[in-house]
Amino acid sequence: MPSRASGASWTGPQRWTLFVTILGSSLAFVDGTVVNVALNALQRAFDAQTTAVVWVVNAYTLALAATLLLGGALGDRLGLRRVFTFGTVGFTVASCLCAAAPSLDILIAARVLQGTGAALLIPTSLALLDASFPPAGRVRAVGWWSAATSAVNVLGPSIGGWLVDLHAWRAVFLINVPLALMVLIGVRRVPESLPREDGTRLDLPGAALAALALTALTLALLGGGVTGTGRTLLLIGAAVTFVGFFVWEGRTASPMLPLRLFRSTAFSGGNVLTFLLYGALSATLLYLPLVFIRVQGYTAGMAGVALLPFSVPLAVLSGVIGLLSSRVPVRALLTAGPILTGIGFVTLGSVGVNADYRTHVLPALLLMGVGMAVVVAPLTSAVLGAAPVADAGVASAVNNAVSRVGGVVIVAALTLVMLTTFERSLERRLEATAVPEDARRQFVAQVSKLSDDVIPASLGRDAARVARLTVREAFADGFQALCVGAGALAALGGVVGALTLAGTGARARKG
């Protein structure tokens, strides 16, 4: 293992560790952004409702959130490099299965396998950094990790959109393969961590309870073909299962979620902030490409390029913020960053039909990018710094799992807000048009598609044009409601940061 003592320069193994963890993390991050750009193509290819194709995202995120903690525990027990390698291989095989999926159901199943592979890869990635760098250099390493992964992700949506425009959406899932091959070549130069040999067992019951609770909650919020009593029963079932999960974790001898970690105010506060901010970000970035394509009339490639201003500040500033966070109080950074990001969300919500990109979209994306750049490295460092060194793997897994859980829960909740607003706006706007009553009923009956594909062929040319414009305006209204909700959640995260975090990023670690 590299020395954990502070040093002026990095060793060769430390450089290789940084290199492969950047590429390994990029596998999961690029996949998420690329799939968002492809959702419109997936909906058309499988003739599916919007809530159905959202499961292409949520299936991955649910599997990832439910098994991340097991992935961190496996890294601590079997060796971080070994589990990181297994995760890379599993993720790549699942990506190939996604590319070959003949139906939406099979694609969703393959995404579950992909999320499980990512659950081995992601927590061990950051834990390898944590184990390889001394406290003084760890913040700098995390900063470069944040900047480099952001730089890699800049090209993801653009490449994905270009492939979609070429009617090759299946190739979107194959972007991971060359990155994975580079990881598998480079990981041989990374030192293995010493596995923990304390006789503890993997917490499979805890993982099962977490998966059941999250699935039930997501089904209740997104619908999944259930309404009324069924939705109520799912919510009750989710609540009971969540309680059972925490009771089990408090009593089992080998919990995958050690509740003792939450005795630290900084650890608890950092994870609440993570839940709120990353959940709001996930919901916004999920629907923004659809706004570009369905409201603004962009191609998928144009939508991918239009997202670049969000990633550029992350790539440029994350490393700088990582260096500054050892001198600037974490409380200041993790209060200002979420609030700035929230202002960007609300500003983005003003994007309407034919909105000018330079005056309406660009400023909002830059605000979001700068806000997230201020947050990423200090938040990661603060959360890991609040945990003992021996729990580095599980602490990283908890924080990553919280961000994914936030993505699942808040995406589902804000999707419900968006659908409700879209339906009400569509009904109100259609009543003010000359579109016939029977056509209006067909629109509302298929509201979950959030698309103008449902326009009846029997409509005349002028009525169809009015109907398309009405759908686009209603979609913009729904997205605005989503962005206001996301902005409020991000600002609340800033309040949490102000109340729970203090000190600097270079805090001493517990032994």
Give the CATH number of the domain where residue 313 resides.
1.20.1250.20
- Does some domain include residue 199? no
Cα 505 to chain centroid distance, Å, stands at 24
Tell me, what's the pLDDT at 505? 45
Residue matched to tokens 């995760």: 87
Block means of pLDDT (10 residues each) for the chain, 511 residues, are 49 84 82 80 84 84 80 78 90 93 93 89 80 74 73 73 86 87 88 64 82 83 67 88 92 84 89 95 91 88 89 77 72 93 94 85 94 87 78 73 86 90 85 70 61 59 76 90 97 93 51 45
**Closest to 487 (Cα-Cα) out of 277, 271, 222:** 277
Task: Quote the domain boundaries for residue 153.
Answer: 12-193+256-424+473-500
Alpha-carbon dihedral 333, 335, 336, 338, rounded to 10 degrees: 110
Is 414 found in the same domain as 319? yes
- Does some domain include residue 110? yes
Residues near 429 by beta carbon (within 8 Å), at least 6 away in sequence: 470, 473, 474
Tell me, what's the pLDDT at 223? 63
Tell me, what's the pLDDT at 345? 97
Tell me, what's the pLDDT at 6? 42
Tell me, what's the pLDDT at 204? 82
Is 414 found in the same domain as 322? yes
- Does some domain include residue 440? no
- Does some domain include residue 430? no
How far from each other are the two terminal CA atoms of the chain, in whole angstroms?
17
Is 281 found in the same domain as 178? yes
**Closest to 76 (Cα-Cα) out of 189, 191, 187, 194:** 194
Is 356 found in the same domain as 209? no
Is 234 found in the same domain as 187? no
Is 90 found in the same domain as 215? no
Alpha-carbon dihedral 209, 210, 213, 218, rounded to 10 degrees: -150
Is 146 found in the same domain as 38? yes
Tell me, what's the pLDDT at 504? 44
- Does some domain include residue 466? no
Is 260 found in the same domain as 232? no
- Does some domain include residue 467? no
Is 340 found in the same domain as 211? no
Is 395 found in the same domain as 246? no
What is the distance between the alpha carbons of residues 421 and 417, in angstroms, rounded to a whole number? Answer: 6
State the total domains in the chain.
2
Is 330 found in the same domain as 262? yes
**Closest to 115 (Cα-Cα) out of 136, 145, 95, 86:** 95
Is 151 found in the same domain as 111? yes
- Does some domain include residue 236? yes
- Does some domain include residue 54? yes
